[in-house]
Amino acid sequence: MKINAIDLKIGNIIQHNNALWRVNKLSHTQPGKGGAYIQAEMKNITNQSKLNERFRSAESIEKIRAEEIDHQFLFRSGDDFTFMNNQTYEQIVLNTDQVNEETAKFLQDGMEVSIEFYDEKPMTVNPPENLVIEIAETEAVVKGQTASSSYKPAVLTNGVRLTVPPHIEIGDKIKINTKELTYIEKSK
């Protein structure tokens, strides 16, 4: 399916240079002189190589229509991840080349995920977009610094690093966006 580069989203799988690529980061730039363009950081589905590519906004790109099937994450054994199809109850085992490192950090036993398939081959594993996770480490708030809306670094219990508002403390549970690794709100 052809789309314009301006319509690309993080997580899309595209066909580029006779290979399949997953879009990891995007930035839209409109310079003062010349046309607007999209800077895309992509990862090759088969060999895990990375590529930074610049597309003109109106450039046509071949987006792959992958079939998303809901699975339940059962367990991890070394480099293997076992998932169960929610409809057929068939189990599928994927290795660390198929489950990217960031996604692996979020997987918890029993978690519902969606796996994208293309030509009946698993391409990517998508955890839920929003998750509640506990804070393992963060800096203490210095009195007088709370007037500005600056964020401070924090480490979650799964080892993921992100920034959080100053009122968040160790042990607090927060809701985060797993695609963008951003803080959403403090969990009740």
> For domain 2-63, which architecture applies?
Roll (2.30)
Q: Answer for the pair 85, 31: CB distance below 8 angstroms, yes or no.
A: no
- For the question of whether the overall pTM of this predicted structure is more than 0.85, the answer is no
Q: Which CATH number does the domain 130-186 belong to among 3.30.465.10, 3.40.50.720, 2.40.50.140, 3.40.50.300?
A: 2.40.50.140
What does the mean pLDDT of the chain come to?
86
Contact 61, 14 (CB under 8 A): yes
Among 102, 79, 92, 96, which residue's Cα sits nearest to residue 161?
102
Residues of the chain above pLDDT 90, percent:
30
pLDDT at res. 5? 85
What pLDDT is attached to residue 148?
58
Instruction: Report the pLDDT value the prediction gives residue 149, as an integer from 0 to 100.
Output: 64
Asked, colleague to colleague, whether 2-63 and 130-186 share their fold, the answer is no
Q: What is the mean pLDDT of residues 142-151?
A: 64
Q: Given pLDDT bands bounded at 50, 70 and 90, which one contains residue 95?
A: confident
Mean pLDDT, range 184-188, rounded to an integer: 86
